Amino acid sequence: MACQCFVDIMDYLRLNLPGALDGVLEMEISNTLDEFLSKTNAWVERLPVRVRPGKYDYIIKPASGLMVRLLGVGGADPDIWVPAAMHGLDTLSFRDDPGVTETWTAHVVVKQSPNAGLESIPEWIYENHRLAVQHGVIGRMMTQNAKPYSNERLAIYHMRKFLALTAQVRAERAQQYLYRGQVWNYPQNFARGTQR
C-alpha cells in the first residue's frame, strides 16, 4: 500500500506530464531516487558489526536497499571512527586488529534495490524530499524523445531545480542537519579572511 505522500507525488506528476504512463513514472521515480540517494547520503543505516580479535574483514548487508558507500564505523566509543574501508560493497575491512570482542556500528549510505520496487523505500524519503523527487522525475520525463510531454526548455528548468535541491540536501546531511553547523565547529574568531 503506497503512502499518501507517494500518491500525491504521482498525482502531481500526472498533471505535469499529460500522456505519461504510470509504469514509466514509477521507473523514473526509481532512477531519480537512485541518483538522489547516491549523491546526498540522505539514507543512512547503522549496522551492528560483532568484531573479534584477529579478524579484519566482515560481511555486512543493510536490512533493505543497496549499499552505496561507508560513512564510518563507530567503535567502543560510537563518536570516534575506527579506521575502516569497504572491499567491494559487502565487505567491511578494518585497518587494525579490533583486538576485542564487542559490537561496533557501521554507518552506511543506502539506496533502493531495483529488484525491491518502490514499496521498499521508506516513507520519510518521499515526505522529506518530495520536491526533489518531483523535479527530478519531471525533468527526466521531459528529456524523453517524441512524447507528448517532451519539452527541452522545461526539462532544463526542472533538472536545475533537482540538482539544486540535491546539493542542498547533501550539504545539510554533511552538517548532520545542524543549522550553521560549520560555524559552530570553527569559531569565526579564527577565520583568516572572508569568502568575498
Shortest distance (Å) from residue 19 CB to another protein: 6
Q: Which is nearer to another protein, 119 or 123 (CB)?
A: 119
Separation CA 40–CA 12 (nearest Å): 23
Shortest distance (Å) from residue 164 CB to another protein: 28
Shortest distance (Å) from residue 48 CB to another protein: 38
Interface ranges with another protein (CB under 8 A): 18-19, 21, 23-24, 27, 146-149
Separation CA 122–CA 113 (nearest Å): 12
Q: Which is nearer to another protein, 125 or 141 (CB)?
A: 141
Shortest distance (Å) from residue 158 CB to another protein: 17
For CA atoms 8, 12, 15, 19, the dihedral sign is: negative
Q: Which is nearer to another protein, 10 or 24 (CB)?
A: 24
Give the chain's end-to-end CA distance (angstroms, integer).
51
Shortest distance (Å) from residue 97 CB to another protein: 50
Q: Taking Cα atoms as reference points, which of 195, 180, 151 lies closest to residue 20?
A: 151
Separation CA 191–CA 182 (nearest Å): 12
Q: Which is nearer to another protein, 98 or 139 (CB)?
A: 139
Task: Give me 48's grid cell.
Answer: 551492528
Q: Which is nearer to another protein, 20 or 70 (CB)?
A: 20
Phi, psi of 16 (to 5 degrees): -90, -15
